[in-house]
Amino acid sequence: MRTLPEIFKSDRPVVSIEIFPPKTEKGDLSLFKMLDCLSQYKPQFISCTYGAGGSVRTRTVDLCQQIQQRYEIPTTAHLTCVGSTRDEIVEILNSAVAAGVINIMALRGDAPEGVDIFEATEGGFGYANELVQLINERYPKMGIGVAAYPEKHAEAPDLPTDLNNLKRKIDAGADVAFTQLFFDNDNFYRFREMYEQAGCNIPLVPGIMPITEFARIKRITAMCGAIFPKELASKLEAVQDDKQAQMEIGVNHAISQCQDLLKQGAPGIHFYALNRSQACQQILEALDL
């Protein structure tokens, strides 16, 4: 399996798909049915999100191992600082290496539900750059991805401060930066210019979430702070009783976004698929990569 730096040496745009671990057997069956479909488009890797605490967090590595064995596609396992000591994080990383998972998405993670402010676990890490540094020092052959926020992280006072935080992760040894979802490419381009001026020299990959339901995307953007264009919101509000029409508008918007991003030199597209294949399939068909 290839590491992230090797993957991004590709001479064509890198397509990646992000999934999350289902909580039921039915969810697992649905996920693999989705991956059966999307794997035909030959994504260069699949990433799997992470749940803190208990057996949930082991699911990420287990799923990544299953995906690699089933589809022979590299995976990237998400790992956060939430609820884990340094030693526990090392155990998870060791289990990833043993499972043949050689790429990690290193994240601070959000505060647990019901807690307003993130606090580091005693004996753990408070910032993603500390996690990146640990991985880089102990597992130098691993590929490391990190998060970037073109419209700033919700907790950051301003974009320059947030960009400085990203630069710390890059300086600690990150290989690729993946952005949070956004719907206005101009915001990405402004951020990319600042990113390059700050001396950030690793690939910056735009993250795209196809809109399939207006109500759902409103909840997601409210949580993460992504800016939702008024014109796009108006189009969706006009068909809020027609889910098929909402999906068509969302997919067409994502296709236009992706076409423009690739034309403007984006190294690839990272799709937040929400464990559904139909929207991504339509977009990938249109992009014809």
Structure tokens at 85: 């000591």
Give yes or no: 122 in active site: no
Report yes or no on 9 lying in a domain: no
3-state helix, strand and coil shares in percent for the chain, rounded to the nearest 5 = 45, 15, 40
pLDDT of residue 54: 46
- Residue (of 74, 78, 141) closest to 101 by Cα position: 74
Report yes or no on 7 lying in a domain: no
Burial code (b: 16+ CB inside 10 Å, e: under 16) for 107-123 equals bbbeeeeeeeebeebee
What is the spatial distance between Cα 85 and Cα 181, in angstroms, rounded to a whole number? 29
Helix or strand (DSSP H, E) at 47? strand 45-48
Report yes or no on 249 lying in a domain: yes
What is the spatial distance between Cα 67 and Cα 46, in angstroms, rounded to a whole number? 8
Cα atoms in the Cβ-side hemisphere of radius 13 Å centred on 186: 3
Q: Which domain holds residue 207?
A: 14-287
Domain total in the chain: 1
Each residue's pLDDT expressed in tens, for the chain with a length of 289 residues:
999 999 999 999 999 999 999 989 999 999 999 999 999 999 999 999 986 554 466 799 999 999 999 999 999 999 999 989 999 999 999 999 999 999 999 999 886 766 777 888 898 899 999 999 999 999 999 999 999 999 999 889 999 999 999 999 999 999 999 999 999 999 999 999 999 999 999 999 999 999 999 999 999 998 888 999 999 999 999 999 999 999 999 999 999 999 999 999 999 999 999 999 999 999 999 999 8
10: how many CB neighbours lie within 10 A of its CB?
13
What is the spatial distance between Cα 102 and Cα 99, in angstroms, rounded to a whole number? 9
pLDDT of residue 224: 87
Q: Residue with structure tokens 């050689």?
A: 102
What is the spatial distance between Cα 192 and Cα 188, in angstroms, rounded to a whole number? 6
Report yes or no on 5 lying in a domain: no
Spell out the residues 6+ positions from residue 11 whose beta carbon is closer than 8 angstroms to its own. none
Per the document, the length of the chain is 289
pLDDT digits (tens, 9 = 90+) for 238-287: 999 999 999 999 999 999 999 999 999 999 999 999 999 999 999 999 99
Q: What CATH number should be reported for the domain holding residue 206?
A: 3.20.20.220
Report yes or no on 3 lying in a domain: no
In the three-class reduction of DSSP (H, G, I as helix; E, B as strand; rest coil), residue 212 is classed as: coil
Cβ proximity of 239 and 248 under 8 Å: no
Report yes or no on 129 lying in a domain: yes
Q: Which of 6, 18, 119, 130 is catalytic?
A: 18
Report yes or no on 84 lying in a domain: yes
Q: Taking the model in full, what pTM does it have?
A: 0.95
